[in-house]
Chains A and B, each alone.
Chain A
């Protein structure tokens, strides 16, 4: 190698620098470098209403690169609202359509929809975004993840903005909007809310000579078990539980209530080690290991569709997919009772970030208002299987007609008023969902006694609750 002298070095360096400069010029010409303030200014983009120097440039760049349908829109001069969504596949198309419709419906605001992965991944990215001060204006948060952002006061109470936007939030279904209401203010509005429902294979039920309905109680399902296994063939299991990763603590939440127990009380004290909850766990253990009727599926939807199990518990949000994929008649029912009925709510809502600009906040509320219009709620609900979040949509003729055609869907909606908000152990205690879920796996996989497992889980929940007790005192949960 020849020795590099200073002149050669500088020459090479200046070459590299001029290449960079050229690249930069190219960027300015195409507005792709919308994040660079000089780039946005020199393209002659119309000054944005937002007052943020790069907003107009960013929006037009996004329009060019992202949604083809938005490219036709004139976005200059509009307030740009950045929306983080958490749905892939079919539901992503539904969300994008709502966003496109909103953008086409008026000329002041443009919403940019960015898919961020699962609820958990979206929460991870939002956490990083808060540290980097690069947050979206409005974000999707699950019934679990929104609590962290609420407790840290990073989301915005919306009542004043609703008043300014002339938007009446009382149209939201009461148990759902109440969940997002704390300290008398609305922080989190329902959008993709769901509950677990009971799914059963009607063909197998018929073959087994069972009535065409879900079991009244879990004991009834257990009585039906031998008939179902006989009708379904050697390998068919009666009921599929699932893994911690796949939210088994959400599905089991109903069981704990049905046996008269609870995960925890509102003050974050674990109650899972008390008699009723342990009884529910022990019933599950016997059902799986002694009766060989239940088992842990990695994904209960896949197993149900493929006839590996005769019944299961899954989100209403899975109804669309299951009904279209299954090659048999799918039946749905309320969750079985035991000592009483119990069913948790779940799914996601939307929240506006506290550090967004005033103008973006008001614009984002306009978007929420649009999403709550009956025709949009009905469209989204039919498209996804999530609950219709407003009363007006639920009572609309369109929705009622849809119920008639899809009685399975009606079951989910009828169950909704009987559902309740989950216990603090899963919602508030850090990692509570996985702590309980891993405990359930110990019963499901390892056949460990429920009293021992739940005692361990309760001890860990108690320990982990300490981390948030002060926060919960500072920022009330009611």
Chain B
């Protein structure tokens, strides 16, 4: 962000103004150029593609109007896809906030080895999703999997996780949460350490128990952090691809087909560029709406001071 120096408005400093101006352009142009090439142009091109039928090889793109949108919204598969997308995103959002906060509270205690524990909890976040997906696919294997051994130990019959339409999505959510909860925990931890201790001391003086001080001090004080985590979690999880691709490939029977996997499937398995682009446009609109809601509605209510 450029802070405009008030003195540049004085006529005597015209040269200075121009110089600042050029410098500003020099810094901003490459960024705008890259954004234009890699974000805005593809978006416009995607909007155009979504109105065509194209198999990605043929030199001709047949203009079909809104047919692709009709195809997408008309299929029964589409409602499953939207349901799965919200199921996945919602579960990951709630999980990241609840588990992230719980872990952060735990790691905020003065316990021995907490530095090591922090590192361990954060570690999965930096690992590759594909590798994690592969390992967890073994863990969830209904015959040889570690999860089966673990559940059998508690006399629970292990479901056939990845080949069961009911359990495939929870399995994917568990893995996604395991990978990403370290991130929200670390952000929450930073937030916890920024809460002034005086507030807790004052509450103590007023006779508040620990639950009351958690509910009336910690939670509201953390609301900007929660807001930040919600935004990033929703935007990332709605685009989650790697773990689904490796673990389930959208199956069984579309049970883990989210909007992004649907897009990939239409584009790069069925080679229907038009329908993939239409799904991409829908994803774009969806994310735009979520972001706008968060910026205009939620943000106003979470900021103190």
> A-side interface residues toward B, CB under 8 Å?
4, 6, 9, 120, 124, 127, 130-131, 148-149, 152, 154, 235, 243-245, 296-298, 303, 306, 308, 430-431, 434, 438, 441-442, 445-446, 456, 460, 467
Q: Say yes or no: A308 contacts B143, CB within 8 Å.
A: yes
A303's partner among B75, B143, B251 (CB-CB below 8 A) is B143
A298 to B247, CA, bound (A): 11
Q: Say yes or no: B268 contacts A245, CB within 8 Å.
A: no
Q: Say yes or no: A430 contacts B271, CB within 8 Å.
A: yes
Q: Say yes or no: B165 contacts A445, CB within 8 Å.
A: yes
Chain B residue nearest to A154 in the complex (CB): B57
Q: Say yes or no: B57 contacts A431, CB within 8 Å.
A: no
Residues of A contacting B270 with CB < 8 Å? 430-431, 434
Q: Say yes or no: A446 contacts B165, CB within 8 Å.
A: yes
| B133, chain A: closest CB distance, angstroms | 13
Residues of A contacting B141 with CB < 8 Å? 298
Task: List residues of B (101-152) whose CB comes within 8 Å of A's CBs.
Answer: 141, 143-144
Residues of A contacting B269 with CB < 8 Å? 120, 431, 434
B272 interface hit (Cβ, 8 Å): yes
Q: Say yes or no: A243 contacts B272, CB within 8 Å.
A: no
| A134, chain B: closest CB distance, angstroms | 14
| A292, chain B: closest CB distance, angstroms | 14
Residues of A contacting B56 with CB < 8 Å? 127, 131
| B7, chain A: closest CB distance, angstroms | 13
| A436, chain B: closest CB distance, angstroms | 13
B265 interface hit (Cβ, 8 Å): yes
Asked, given contacts A130-B57, A243-B163, A245-B249, whether A124 binds B268 with beta carbons under 8 Å apart, the answer is: yes
List 4 other contacts, CB 8 Å, given A9-B26, A467-B55.
Answer: A244-B252, A438-B251, A442-B253, A460-B75
| A425, chain B: closest CB distance, angstroms | 14
**CB-based A-B contact count at 8 angstroms:** 69
Q: Say yes or no: B249 contacts A430, CB within 8 Å.
A: no
Q: Say yes or no: B253 contacts A445, CB within 8 Å.
A: yes
Chain A residue nearest to B56 in the complex (CB): A127
Residues of B contacting A303 with CB < 8 Å? 143
Q: Say yes or no: A445 contacts B57, CB within 8 Å.
A: no
| B303, chain A: closest CB distance, angstroms | 29
B55's partner among A6, A124, A152, A438 (CB-CB below 8 A) is A152
| B17, chain A: closest CB distance, angstroms | 14
| B264, chain A: closest CB distance, angstroms | 10
Residues of B contacting A6 with CB < 8 Å? 19
B201 interface hit (Cβ, 8 Å): no
> B-side interface residues toward A, CB under 8 Å?
19, 23, 26, 53, 55-58, 75-76, 141, 143-144, 162-165, 249, 251-254, 265, 268-272
| A139, chain B: closest CB distance, angstroms | 13
Asked, given contacts A148-B57, A154-B57, whether A445 binds B252 with beta carbons under 8 Å apart, the answer is: yes
Of listed B53, B144, B253, residue having the most chain A CB within 10 A: B253
A446 to B268, CA, bound (A): 27
A355 to B151, CA, bound (A): 57
| B134, chain A: closest CB distance, angstroms | 13
Asked, given contacts A6-B19, A306-B144, whether A445 binds B164 with beta carbons under 8 Å apart, the answer is: yes
Q: Say yes or no: A127 contacts B165, CB within 8 Å.
A: no
Residues of B contacting A243 with CB < 8 Å? 163, 249, 251-252
Q: Say yes or no: A296 contacts B272, CB within 8 Å.
A: no
A120 to B267, CA, bound (A): 12
Residues of B contacting A130 with CB < 8 Å? 57
Q: Say yes or no: B144 contacts A4, CB within 8 Å.
A: no
Query: Can you list 28 A-B contacts with CB-CB less than 8 angstroms, sorted by A residue number?
Result: A6-B19, A9-B23, A9-B26, A124-B268, A127-B57, A127-B271, A130-B57, A148-B57, A148-B271, A152-B57, A152-B58, A243-B163, A243-B252, A245-B251, A303-B143, A306-B143, A431-B265, A431-B272, A438-B253, A441-B251, A441-B252, A441-B253, A442-B253, A445-B164, A445-B253, A446-B253, A456-B76, A460-B75
Chain A residue nearest to B266 in the complex (CB): A431
A438 to B163, CA, bound (A): 12
A434 to B165, CA, bound (A): 17
Of listed B165, B251, B271, residue having the most chain A CB within 10 A: B251
Residues of A contacting B53 with CB < 8 Å? 467
| A448, chain B: closest CB distance, angstroms | 9
| B276, chain A: closest CB distance, angstroms | 12
A306 to B141, CA, bound (A): 13
A297 to B249, CA, bound (A): 15
Chain A residue nearest to B267 in the complex (CB): A124
| B253, chain A: closest CB distance, angstroms | 4
Q: Say yes or no: A438 contacts B57, CB within 8 Å.
A: no
Of listed B144, B252, B271, B272, residue having the most chain A CB within 10 A: B252
Of listed A4, A154, A298, A456, residue having the most chain B CB within 10 A: A298
Q: Say yes or no: A4 contacts B57, CB within 8 Å.
A: no
Q: Say yes or no: B271 contacts A434, CB within 8 Å.
A: no
A131 to B265, CA, bound (A): 19
Q: Say yes or no: A296 contacts B252, CB within 8 Å.
A: yes
| B128, chain A: closest CB distance, angstroms | 17
Q: Say yes or no: B163 contacts A296, CB within 8 Å.
A: yes
A300 to B75, CA, bound (A): 31
A124 to B144, CA, bound (A): 33
Q: 4 tightest CB-CB pairs across the interface, nearest first?
A: A431-B270, A152-B57, A441-B253, A245-B249
A477 to B53, CA, bound (A): 21
Chain A residue nearest to B164 in the complex (CB): A445
Residues of A contacting B268 with CB < 8 Å? 124
A22 to B277, CA, bound (A): 42
| B263, chain A: closest CB distance, angstroms | 14
A96 to B48, CA, bound (A): 43
Residues of B contacting A467 with CB < 8 Å? 53, 55, 272
Residues of B contacting A4 with CB < 8 Å? 23
| A251, chain B: closest CB distance, angstroms | 16
